[in-house]
Copies of this chain bind each other. A is one copy, B any other.
Amino acid sequence: MDYTIKIGGQAGQGLQTIGAVLAKLFARSGFHVFTHQDYMSRIRGGHNFYQVRFADHEISASRKAVDILVALDKNTVAEHLGELSPFGLVVYDSETVREKYDGENLLDIPFRQIAMDAAGNRIMENTVAVGAVLGMLGMDLETLDELLAETFARKSREVVDQNLAAAKAGADFARANCGQCNFSVNIPGLAAAQEKGAAADVSAVAPRRMLMDGTSAVGLGALASGCRFYAAYPMTPSTGVMNFMAAQSGRHSLVVEQAEDEIAAINMAIGASYAGVRSMTGTAGGGFALMVEGLSLAGMTETPVVIFVGQRPAPATGFPTRTEQADLLYILHAAHGEFPRVIMAPGNPEQAYYLTGKAFDLAEKYQVPAFIISDQYLADTEWTLDALDPSKINYQDYRLRAGDLAKLADYRRHAYTDTGVSPLAEPGASHHLVVTDSDEHDQDGHLVEDAETRVRMVEKRLLKKLPLIRDQISPPLLHGDENPETVIVGWGSTYGVIKEAVDRLGEKHSIAMLHFSEIYPFPGTGKFDYLEVLRQAKLTVCVENNATSQFARLMRAETGFVFNKLVNKFDGRPYLLEELLDELGEPGMGGPGKTSPEKGGPGMGGPGKTSPEKGGPDKPGGFGRSPKHDGSGEHDV
């Protein structure tokens, strides 16, 4: 069982509400859920959609094929009718959409009228739509009731009842009128439980899973790591984290400041950290451009700071509300001078939570800036996942506080040590002065100009710390065949779609995914010789949501390894499952022979892109061929 529901319409029509309610409802009902959103950079109008997929097995990507299309406007029908699966249906209200469609797979349900009739209020029309979808799916409204009660907890029971009445009327109408409806949704475990005779209801049998988006996961990870200060300037797709933190600041010991600009934001984060609290800033690639100088300041003053960067298609303003993975090399090399940094690129909300924790831990332990790189796709996609465990985030206060400081006869902020890590004290907590400087400085933090101190400080700050940090980095994740003939490599938010593609293809082929989420310091091969896996493979493919295969280039710079196939997408949209399968063609067969690194010509990030072999594996759900949105061979910016 694996269904996709897509809700399309204009900004302001409330399609996010419908999508969010359905997603939560399916999750509560024990299904695995995956959602993704697509919206334009405008507040009203335009064309947006929200796609909800749910299944009785693990899923981690969106499919192209849609089973139920909820069309809130005419445009949605026009744009997405072609995506319907063989048994797929469109549901719409001809009054709102101002069009009456013929065709067996288009179901006209008068959402607005039903809302008026059942609840006396037009604004319940979206609730009617939710009910209609449940009716079409043949699900009952028990879980919806529960959800509505929670959602409107602060309002009167009357509001809940009105909503429920609206939903029920929608469901009834759908059940009565949907001759074509041919879905079979079985709540996992429910039938079995009921057979056992118990008066089992959904909430009793369904496995308890969280439904979480990437944004919340980063915020929760920060909270669980003791983040006390968050300064930022709003910018899509990072504003969500800022708002999440702001909402928490009422309940937790956390100050959230909206800075006058991104320059102020990072300097504030650094200032707060200097003062003794864990701190963080967040922005998009364009806002990060204004933080580059501050990054260097953190590097020089060895002030821990965590920086969240939500990538979006660029250059410049680009596509503000869409997705891309084109800021990796930029973030890795940003800022003048040489100093260590940590880069985490989580692939799903679970990783986002734990790796945010790890970013804080490494930042504090080694007194370096640590990044969490995300993108609009990861920010907005929701996944079902098992309970997150706060205790799995390593929380340790590495700073010297009043108690520790009282014992010290002497304190030097930038003292030379074996590890390069100097003691980090809270200013004002004792008579010891905490002095640091953006100029080259001595152990006391005071400015100097001599060559000898410079050399020792570079050694301390950079050369000693870096290998120690590298030791903390986990190797990439190998998923699938342990001795794969084909290896699909990705990083960050492509995790889910690659994983699911590999799972599909793994049914017939020797294939595995190698996913990098801890990117810098680049993982060594000591814990797991992933290079050996790549070298043994016949076909190695690097999949990226950018035009120039930045990770492949990094891989070559770090390890010398050159992929023999590069897959790129840079239209601002994420990979859908079918698209990726299509790009991969028949793995193990297609693709050119392996190009040895020696032969890679200069000026190329790797060999030119090979045209994907024709046709994907034939799976139910109907894998259409996606339009090619990939760049041609020569590209190596």
Binding site for B on A (CB under 8 A): 40-41, 46, 263, 284-286, 288-290, 292-293, 295-297, 299-301, 311, 313-320, 322, 324, 326-327, 329-330, 332-341, 437-440, 449, 451-452, 454-455, 458-459, 462-463, 466-467, 470, 521-525, 531, 546-548, 553-554, 556-560, 562, 570-573, 596-598, 600-605, 627, 629, 631-632, 634-637
Inter-chain contacts of A601 with B (CB < 8 A): 524-525, 559
Inter-chain contacts of A299 with B (CB < 8 A): 315-316
Give 19 CB contacts A-B under 8 Å. A286-B296, A288-B336, A289-B293, A292-B292, A315-B339, A316-B438, A318-B336, A330-B334, A459-B631, A462-B631, A463-B632, A467-B634, A522-B603, A525-B601, A525-B602, A560-B560, A560-B562, A560-B598, A597-B598
Q: A463-B547, A556-B560 are in contact. List 17 more A-B contacts (CB 8 A).
A: A289-B335, A296-B314, A300-B314, A311-B336, A316-B336, A322-B449, A324-B337, A333-B334, A451-B573, A458-B547, A466-B634, A522-B602, A523-B602, A554-B557, A558-B604, A559-B600, A560-B600
Inter-chain contacts of A293 with B (CB < 8 A): 286, 289-290, 316
| Contact present for B558 and A602 (CB under 8 Å) | yes
Q: How far is the CB of A418 from chain B (nearest CB, A)?
A: 13
| Contact present for B335 and A315 (CB under 8 Å) | yes
Q: How far is the CB of A464 from chain B (nearest CB, A)?
A: 9
Inter-chain contacts of A296 with B (CB < 8 A): 286, 289, 314-316
| Contact present for A316 and B333 (CB under 8 Å) | no
Compute how far the CA of A322 lies from the CA of B315 in the bound complex, rounded to whole angstroms: 33
Compute how far the CA of A407 lies from the CA of B339 in the bound complex, rounded to whole angstroms: 55
Tell me whether A315 and B334 are in contact in the complex, defined as CB-CB below 8 angstroms, given that A462-B635, A547-B463, A571-B455 are known contacts: no
Tell me whether A333 and B336 are in contact in the complex, defined as CB-CB below 8 angstroms, given that A300-B317, A571-B455 are known contacts: no
Q: How far is the CB of A20 from chain B (nearest CB, A)?
A: 23
From A41, A330, A631, name the one whose CB has the most chain B CB atoms within 10 angstroms.
Answer: A330
Give the copy number.
Answer: 2
Top 10 nearest A-B pairs (CB, nearest first) are A314-B337, A285-B336, A315-B337, A289-B293, A557-B557, A300-B316, A316-B438, A451-B571, A289-B292, A300-B315
Q: Which of B263, B340, B524, B627 contacts A637 (CB 8 A)?
A: B340
| Contact present for B337 and A334 (CB under 8 Å) | no
Which of chain B's residues has its CB closest to A46's CB?
Answer: B449
Compute how far the CA of A553 lies from the CA of B338 in the bound complex, rounded to whole angstroms: 14
Which of chain B's residues has its CB closest to A42's CB?
Answer: B449
Q: Which of B455, B548, B559 contacts A602 (CB 8 A)?
A: B559
| Contact present for A637 and B339 (CB under 8 Å) | yes
| Contact present for A637 and B602 (CB under 8 Å) | no
| Contact present for A326 and B313 (CB under 8 Å) | no
Which of chain B's residues has its CB closest to A451's CB?
Answer: B571
Compute how far the CA of A322 lies from the CA of B637 in the bound complex, rounded to whole angstroms: 30
Inter-chain contacts of A317 with B (CB < 8 A): 300, 437-439
Compute how far the CA of A327 lies from the CA of B573 in the bound complex, rounded to whole angstroms: 33
Which of chain B's residues has its CB closest to A339's CB?
Answer: B315
Q: Which of B318, B439, B451 contacts A629 (CB 8 A)?
A: B451
Compute how far the CA of A525 lies from the CA of B602 in the bound complex, rounded to whole angstroms: 7
Which of chain B's residues has its CB closest to A320's CB?
Answer: B439
| Contact present for A462 and B637 (CB under 8 Å) | yes
Q: Which of B320, B333, B635 contacts A332 (CB 8 A)?
A: B333
| Contact present for B547 and A557 (CB under 8 Å) | no
Compute how far the CA of A285 lies from the CA of B292 in the bound complex, rounded to whole angstroms: 10
Which of chain B's residues has its CB closest to A635's CB?
Answer: B463
Compute how far the CA of A308 lies from the CA of B337 in the bound complex, rounded to whole angstroms: 17
Compute how far the CA of A329 lies from the CA of B341 in the bound complex, rounded to whole angstroms: 15
Compute how far the CA of A68 lies from the CA of B598 in the bound complex, rounded to whole angstroms: 51
